[in-house]
Amino acid sequence: MPELPEVESVRLGLERHLRGRVVQRVEVLDPRPLRRQAGGEQAFVKELTGRTITGAARRGKLMWLPLDDGRALRAHLGMSGQLLVRGTAAQAQPDPAVLGQSGPDLTATQAPTLVRDLSTRPRHLRVRLHLAHQDGDEPTGAALDLVDQRMFGGLLVDDLVPTADGLPGGRGEQRALIPASATHVARDLLDPHLDQEQASARLRASGRGVKTLLLDQGIVSGVGNIYADEGLWAACLHGRRRGKALGRAAVARLLEETAAVMRRALAVGGTSFDALYVNADGAPGFFARSLAVYGRAGQDCRRCGSTLRSEVVGGRSHVFCPQCQTRPRG
C-alpha cells in the first residue's frame, strides 16, 4: 500500500494540476469505489458536478481535494489505486521533482508486473472527472481518473469539520479543517504540528511491539510496512521490542529516523516496486534502490554485513539485522 512519501508525491501533482479547476462532468464506470458515499453514485455525481477544486491536502496516507462549497473529495488509494491527470495545461510544464522519472521503473528490486495503460480508456478505469476546458489543455479534454485494479481504494464527497487541536488539517490545508471521516487519523511524522511528546508518550505507554505501534495510524499516521522497517533499522531497534520497554531517547531516535527516511524517499518520488505506484503524471518513485532492509531478507546488512532476516511481527513481515537490531528475549 502506498505510504506517506508516495501519497505526498501524488498530492503535489494533484495540487499543481487541479487547483482552480472546475469539475464539468462526472463519469462513473464502476460504482464500487463509491461504496462509502452517502446516497451512492447519484449523490456523488450531483455533489461534484460544477464544483471548483481549490487545492490538494493530505494527512498521513489520506488525501482530500477541498471544494468551493466547503466540502471535500476524499481519496484513499488502497492497495492499487491511482489518481492520474490527463490533458491539462500543467502537463506541458512538468514538475522538476519528477523530471527524468517517466517510463518504466528500472530501480526496483523486482521486475515491473503492472504497467500504466496509456489508452484513453484504461482497463481498470473506475471514475473519471471531466474538467472544464482551460487554455493549453489537450483537444481531447482534461480529466482526473481513478484507476484501481484491486478495488480497495475509494472516493467520497465528505464534510470538512474542525480539527480537534485547532491547528491546520494537514499538508496543503492551512485551515483547521479535516474530512469528517478522517478525524481518527493522527498527525504524521512530517507534519510540523505533530505533538512529538504526546506521540512518544503513547508509544512508551504500550506493551505492544514497537513495529505494531508505528503502524497504528491513531498514534502517528503515514507509516506502513516499508518505512517502519527502514526506521527501525536506522534506529537500531527490533520490531518486537515493546513500547513500554523503550526509554525516551530511544523513542525519540526512532521517530526522528523514520521521519528522516520518509523525507529521503519523498525527495525521489517515493518507493515504486512496479508501475502500480506512480504519481499523478504516471511517474514512479526511485527510493527502492536506497532501501536498507525492506525486501532484502537474505542479503547483507548495509551497516555491518550480517545476513538480514525476516519474521512476522503483529501479522506483518519484519526484515531486520540480527546484529544491529537485537531481538528481545522471550
Which residues are catalytic, by number? 2-3, 61, 316
Inter-residue contact 13 to 84 (CB < 8 Å): no
Residues 177 and 169: their CA atoms lie apart, in Å, by 5
Cβ neighbours, 10 Å, residue 96:
7
Return the SS3 of 189.
coil
Three cell numbers, residue 120: 484513453
Which residue matches cell numbers 483537444?
Answer: 139
Three cell numbers, residue 140: 481531447
Angle between helices 4-18 and 248-267 (to 10 degrees): 40
Residues 68 and 78: their CA atoms lie apart, in Å, by 26
Q: Bridge partners of 73? A: 65, 157
Inter-residue contact 313 to 212 (CB < 8 Å): yes
The closest alpha carbon to 4, from 184, 210, 260, 232, belongs to 260
Q: Please give the torsion angle defined by the CA atoms of residues 56, 30, 1 and 272, in that order, rounded to the nearest 10 degrees.
A: -80
> Which pairs with CB-CB distance under 8 Å and at least 24 residues apart come from 161-167?
165/193, 165/195, 167/193
Residues 225 and 231: their CA atoms lie apart, in Å, by 10
Residues 178 and 164: their CA atoms lie apart, in Å, by 9
Residues 191 and 52: their CA atoms lie apart, in Å, by 26
Residues 53 and 11: their CA atoms lie apart, in Å, by 13
Inter-residue contact 145 to 127 (CB < 8 Å): yes
